[in-house]
Structure 1
Amino acid sequence: MLQIRPCTEADIPALLNLIDAANQVDQAGWYYTTADLAEALQKDQPIPPDQRIHLLYHGDQLAGYYRLDAEDTLEGVKVLCFGCVHPAFRRQGLGARLLEQAAHTAQAAAPRGAKILFQVPARRNVPGIYALCEKSGLQMARQFSVLKRDTRQPIPPCQTKLSAQLNAFDPAHDGADLLAAFDQCFPGHSYKPEILDKEWRKTRENLGYWWVARDPTGLLTGFCLAGVEKEAEEEPIGLIDYLGVLPAARRQGLGRCLLYTAMHYLQMIGLPAIKLATEVDNLRALSLYYEAGFETWREARLYQKRL
């Protein structure tokens, strides 16, 4: 008998065991701690806390789950859906059941009348995930290459001479300008002032670092956000999360200098590898990353539909 019910904090240990079992088979790299899942239940977002994580039971055994992470946007509510089915319960249609229920929960729990964009991040190495999304009526919106580089290989210095100056990000001084730069480089991003400050503090606590570049007039022309990420049982690796250069400052070597600055920093703090991602059709970025020694590691897609 199947039953889907909301997750409570008491369920988190069992949920972590489920995610670990799926990771061992899929090598998907999803990694959560008790604190991560507790925060998902507590943080401020449009979907009520008791509707954010649901568990699927097959009899008395935990067989799957889904988690909804929602945010308000100018176009309505964007809902990201994460989840998995325990390897022992696959090929029984439970993934489709979870995805259908997740979309229903998103629609029912979001503010009344809100336009909802339902999104599912999918990694190619998770068996059947692309086909499942497509059979469930979702369409591929974006496709990414995930690249990785071993830091034990020498990282050359950046030879480009810049007129811009790279500095550590200061929320009080740089926050508004960084958000404006995000608007130009990553339209539709999720950062808001309070989220930006919180993410910066969390990144610094985990030895990450953010840089901003300003030209001689003081205009913020580029930025790079680098952090530390732990994947399943593997040791932590470096993550270059966002790297952006404003259109007027491109083709001057600023992106290369930001990239190499982040790479040297992540190598200096002892991380064995660095990863980053970009869309598969961003050939200029891919060329830069390959030149810097990165190699294609994984493929990922973002599926979505309007509810």
Structure 2
Amino acid sequence: MSTPLVTDDLAAATADQVLTLAEAARRTDGVAPLSEHTLLRVRHGAPSGSARFHVVSEDGRVVGFAFVERGEDEPDSGEVVVDPAHRGRGHGTALLHSVHRDAGANGVRVWAHGRTPQAVAVAEEDGWRAVRELHKMRMPLRDIAAEEKGGPRTAPELPPPVLRPQVADRVEVRAFVVGQDEQAWLDTNARAFAHHPEQGRLTLDDLLQREVEDWFDPNGFFLATGKDGRVAAYHWTKVHADGAGLTDGEPVGEVYVVGVDPQWQGTGLGRALTLEGLRHLRDAGLPWVHLYVDGDNEAAVRLYTSLGFEIWDTDVMYAPPEEPPGEE
């Protein structure tokens, strides 16, 4: 078991090795071990004091990695990955101990994406307990043949995204305009996700980093704007070129994020914009669409189930034992 190096930033060569390690784990496990947000932090770095990187190396090669985003009024949030060729050597446990010892005043939580047996075993054997679930839901956008992953599926009929009469003349539904809508979207996103530990803290730099990603398409980023120019609601879609575990490489869609300003909640804008984005992804010829939703968000789960989504997989967030371990 190696002692992880803990640092506020990564050298470029180390970052490249982490990305290679994450891809190797994705291919082996069938699920990405690091979120998009973490991968962006690895590529671009993190604002000073906002994050910590934990790195385990053997013979100059990165074989284990953890990323922790510092919380303000909530626990830090982390992710851990170990090279498939170097598992069973205690690296996962060493990384969990490291992020536990290095945690901020509010402690730390760590995600196990896809609830893989290896990740669950390491967490539970070390006394970590599940405290949050994030469901991954999926829906076919066209009829899926039996030989494809998940077996045969019939695509549900998508209703038209009709606005209710009381809001139809108060908002305009249009695509996001790069260079114009960033701040208005950030303001609404912060209000819509004020109590969300990840989404509600996105900054302008976070948004700009996503705008230069290969997958970014403003034509799939739908806004409902009021006459005052403020964003009342939005639906940001995404296309995964690698299939996101749903296909063997054919692109699939994602309901990346749907947000409604609290002043517009209950108006049906969230459902209408969700349908707008789903029809956009369907018309692009994609076979599947998926999304993430908190397990305790029963209203959202009901909405997506009513549209034809089903729970496909679940990410689990773990909290550590009360006392951090001593130094190895």
TM band (smaller chain): 0.7 to 0.9
Cα distance, 1:255 vs structure 2:
2.2
Equivalent residue number for residue 84 of structure 2: 87
Structure 1, unaligned runs of 5 or more: 108-113
Letter in 2 for 1:80: S
Aligned CA-pair RMSD: 3.7
Change (3 A) 1:29 1:236: farther
Cα distance, 1:145 vs structure 2:
1.5
Normalized per residue, the structure richer in strand is 1
Equivalent residue number for residue 147 of structure 2: none
Equivalent residue number for residue 111 of structure 1: none
Equivalent residue number for residue 201 of structure 2: 191
Equivalent residue number for residue 70 of structure 1: 69
- Confirm or deny: 8 A CA contact 1:55 1:65 kept in the other structure: yes
Letter in 1 for 2:65: Y
> What are the within-5 Å matches in structure 2 for residues 161-180 of structure 1?
161-162=163-164, 163-164=167-168, 165=171, 166-169=173-176, 170-180=181-191
Cα distance, 1:44 vs structure 2:
1.6
Structure 2, unaligned runs of 5 or more: 143-154
Cα distance, 1:159 vs structure 2:
5.5
- Confirm or deny: 8 A CA contact 2:188 2:233 kept in the other structure: no
Change (3 A) 1:126 1:265: same
1:264 aligns with 2:279: yes
- TM-score for both structures, normalised by structure 1: 0.75
State the Cα deviation string for residues 270-302 of structure 1 (Å, max 9, x = none). 443211011223333222212222222111112
- Confirm or deny: 8 A CA contact 1:176 1:193 kept in the other structure: no
Paired-residue identity, %? 22
Cα distance, 1:3 vs structure 2:
5.6
Letter in 1 for 2:93: A
**CA distance in 1 between partners of 2:233 and 2:19 (Å):** 38
State the Cα deviation string for residues 201-233 of structure 1 (Å, max 9, x = none). 346962254333346787754332222334477
**CA distance in 2 between partners of 1:212 and 1:198 (Å):** 17
Count of residues in Structure 1 that have an aligned counterpart in Structure 2: 292
**CA distance in 1 between partners of 2:85 and 2:117 (Å):** 13
- TM-score for both structures, normalised by structure 2: 0.71
Letter in 1 for 2:217: L
Give the alignment partner of residue 94 of structure 2, picking from 93, 97, 117: 97
Change (3 A) 1:26 1:191: same
- Confirm or deny: 8 A CA contact 2:223 2:233 kept in the other structure: yes
**CA distance in 1 between partners of 2:233 and 2:130 (Å):** 29
Give the alignment partner of residue 279 of structure 1, picking from 294, 297, 321: 294
